[in-house]
Structure 1
Amino acid sequence: MDWDKLRIFHAVAEAGSFTHAGDKLNLSQSAVSRQISALEEVLRVPLFHRHARGLILTEQGEVLNRTVRDVFSKLALTQAFLSESKERAAGKITITTTTGFGASWLTPRLNRFLEKYPEIEVSLLLEDEELDLGMREADVAIRLHPPTQPDLVQRHLADFDMPIYASPEYLAEHGTPKTLEELANHQIIGFAGWHLPLPVVNWLNDELHRQNIPYKGMRLAINNIAAVATAIASGIGIGSLPFYSATAHPNLVRILEDIPTPKVEAYFVYPDELRTSKRIAVFRDFLLAEINALKHS
């Protein structure tokens, strides 16, 4: 099997069409189609079902794509190792974390990292669904719960509180609740969506239910933690936020401080193959230093 044809096949499998794969590879649609037909002829099996809405992998195509994806991920890892200097941090690093942590906490701090390490290029992928580090969808992850994959190296970064916040404007207009029973009469803002970025993201809502405190439910629910923080800061209502999200809005007022709140456990996670990588090490140390500075601010 020709490596170039396999590269084109993988691009088509991921894109779902000859046209989109051609755009990515800078090839014409017809050139991509010819390469796939040639590969199918060599293998003597169909790799795609062709229909009006695009392409679907056949069973044989699924098997080949899994293998090709694994091979190319290992090649990318090898290339990174060969190009990386042991004396200095250099090269590309792909980081993934949740949209809330990435947008409100990590992104505003990346400038300091990039200035300190000018030979490192960063790609930041914000996804509430976890990317597969084993398949090299990213190099490292900042996970906001204990990792479950046994083959990944993990370093505990911090435990973030989930306090209850409101804006000064909201409290001036509606008053400050002193108990959960009083809170039930206020407008509560929370998270909505199938993929929860944090296991305890709606703990306040759950606690009201647990204590059988009657309330109207969440007045506003948003599927993005950074947007939830913005809504609370703009005076729409009261809600619980991880401490790192609240730091993006200095005007927020913490209320009901005597009520115990859950913690968000943050971990730095990466494949074992990257254990000796200099660029991974300096990014980990940067995170620890930034979090330590936050604790003492």
Structure 2
Amino acid sequence: MNWQAVSFDWNQIRAFLATAEEGSLSAAARALRTTQPTIGRQVSALERDLGVTLFERSGRSLVMTSAGHDLLEHVQAMGDAASRISMVASGQSRDVAGHVSITASDLLAAGFLVPVLKKLRQDAPGIIVDVVASNRLENLTRRDADIAIRHVRPDQPDLIARQLRDARAVYYASADYLAEYGRPQTEADLAKHVFIGPRDTTQMLAFMQDRGVTISPDQFKANSDSGVVMWEMMRAGLGIMVGPDRFWPHVDGVETLLSDAPPITFPVWIVTHRELRTSRRIRIVFDALVQALGGD
């Protein structure tokens, strides 16, 4: 979408962001500790300056337009950056203490979160991070965790969800496996190989079918619902595994296959509850994860 060249008023941007995330002018006013008419004037002024309609008004309800959704993605990044700048400038990050729990799949937790937590320890040493390594969707509304990294968008309206750049998955195999079974040159060659996957292979088979790759359930010779166990079975030479690309550091004896094949991508969502607005420690961890996951 081509936006008009305008000088943004940060108060207008904050009003729009709060309205989008809170769902109403009155809730946005409470979040920003101002009045509903003030929020309404700021949002209307932003619409006027941009020459677009950001919300359709139906009685007391607001429905975001497609232009509003386009703007929201950029504004969220601005809001996160402003929050980080404010915390760094005030030295707040080193003063904040307390527990923050993060849930992610076990493979993601082991391969990606560890280096992020190491940097977070330097930036905010008072924060204690509890990692819930689980492949099931933890319920943030029941406080099973404070922050979740997911591959599907949550449907609970009281959560704050931000979609980051799509992640990439690749085919992994160990050098021992390739020496025994040979190296596939195309995705069609995968029909002759052995795979490692989850115990229920239905989703994996459908995924491969969508890519034009036909494999059978019998090709999955070692299976587990644990991503870490699957990774170790792959390293032992038991089969080919599909796994996230840049979330795991380089490991000797493990190779990625079919680099010329069409990319395998999957969505990444970072989700939290509305305490993000009042809890500095959750905000610090949330922002660190966004930055590490490539949220800009």
- For residues 100 and 217 of structure 2, the distance between their equivalents in structure 1, rounded to whole angstroms, comes to 46
Is the Cα contact below 8 Å between 2:98 and 2:281 reproduced in 1? yes
Asked if 1:91 is matched to 2:98, the reply is yes
1:160 is aligned to: 167
1:240 is aligned to: 242
Is the Cα contact below 8 Å between 2:198 and 2:223 reproduced in 1? yes
2:148 is aligned to: 141
- In the alignment, which of 256, 259, 266 is matched to residue 258 of structure 2? 256
1:122 is aligned to: 129
1:258-285, Cα deviation, whole Å (9 max, x unpaired): 3324322222211123323221221122
- For residues 264 and 205 of structure 1, the distance between their equivalents in structure 2, rounded to whole angstroms, comes to 11
Say if 1:117 and 1:209 are closer, same or farther in 2 by CA, change over 3 A. closer
Say if 1:216 and 1:165 are closer, same or farther in 2 by CA, change over 3 A. same
How far 1:214 sits from its partner (Å)? Answer: 6.2
SS in 1 for 2:261: coil
- For residues 273 and 245 of structure 1, the distance between their equivalents in structure 2, rounded to whole angstroms, comes to 27
* Counterpart code for 1:230: E
- For residues 250 and 103 of structure 1, the distance between their equivalents in structure 2, rounded to whole angstroms, comes to 17
Is the Cα contact below 8 Å between 2:191 and 2:213 reproduced in 1? no
Asked if 1:105 is matched to 2:112, the reply is yes
2:268 is aligned to: 266
How far 1:106 sits from its partner (Å)? Answer: 1.0
TM-score (ref. length: structure 2):
0.60
* Counterpart code for 1:171: L
- For residues 205 and 231 of structure 1, the distance between their equivalents in structure 2, rounded to whole angstroms, comes to 21
How far 1:205 sits from its partner (Å)? Answer: 6.7
- For residues 214 and 181 of structure 2, the distance between their equivalents in structure 1, rounded to whole angstroms, comes to 23
Bigger Rg, which one: 1
Say if 1:182 and 1:240 are closer, same or farther in 2 by CA, change over 3 A. same
How far 1:252 sits from its partner (Å)? Answer: 2.3
- For residues 274 and 232 of structure 1, the distance between their equivalents in structure 2, rounded to whole angstroms, comes to 38
* Counterpart code for 1:156: Q
How far 1:122 sits from its partner (Å)? Answer: 1.5
1:151-192, Cα deviation, whole Å (9 max, x unpaired): 211122332112112122222332211123322222211122
TM-score (ref. length: structure 1):
0.59
1:191-214, Cα deviation, whole Å (9 max, x unpaired): 2259x9xxx6x2587428965556
How far 1:120 sits from its partner (Å)? Answer: 1.0
Report the identity percentage: 29
How far 1:250 sits from its partner (Å)? Answer: 5.0
* Counterpart code for 2:148: A
* Counterpart code for 1:225: G
How far 1:126 sits from its partner (Å)? Answer: 1.6
SS in 2 for 1:110: helix
2:176 is aligned to: 169
- For residues 250 and 225 of structure 2, the distance between their equivalents in structure 1, rounded to whole angstroms, comes to 18
Say if 1:155 and 1:205 are closer, same or farther in 2 by CA, change over 3 A. closer
- For residues 125 and 116 of structure 1, the distance between their equivalents in structure 2, rounded to whole angstroms, comes to 22
* Counterpart code for 1:147: P
- For residues 154 and 132 of structure 2, the distance between their equivalents in structure 1, rounded to whole angstroms, comes to 18
- For residues 218 and 122 of structure 1, the distance between their equivalents in structure 2, rounded to whole angstroms, comes to 36
- For residues 265 and 115 of structure 1, the distance between their equivalents in structure 2, rounded to whole angstroms, comes to 29
Say if 1:205 and 1:173 are closer, same or farther in 2 by CA, change over 3 A. farther
- For residues 252 and 285 of structure 2, the distance between their equivalents in structure 1, rounded to whole angstroms, comes to 26
* Counterpart code for 2:117: L
Unaligned runs of 5+ in 2: 1-89
SS in 2 for 1:249: coil
Unaligned runs of 5+ in 1: 1-84
- For residues 172 and 93 of structure 1, the distance between their equivalents in structure 2, rounded to whole angstroms, comes to 45
Say if 1:231 and 1:204 are closer, same or farther in 2 by CA, change over 3 A. farther
How far 1:224 sits from its partner (Å)? Answer: 0.9
- For residues 256 and 228 of structure 1, the distance between their equivalents in structure 2, rounded to whole angstroms, comes to 20
- For residues 207 and 226 of structure 1, the distance between their equivalents in structure 2, rounded to whole angstroms, comes to 25
- For residues 273 and 292 of structure 1, the distance between their equivalents in structure 2, rounded to whole angstroms, comes to 23
Say if 1:114 and 1:193 are closer, same or farther in 2 by CA, change over 3 A. farther
* Counterpart code for 1:285: D
SS in 1 for 2:278: coil
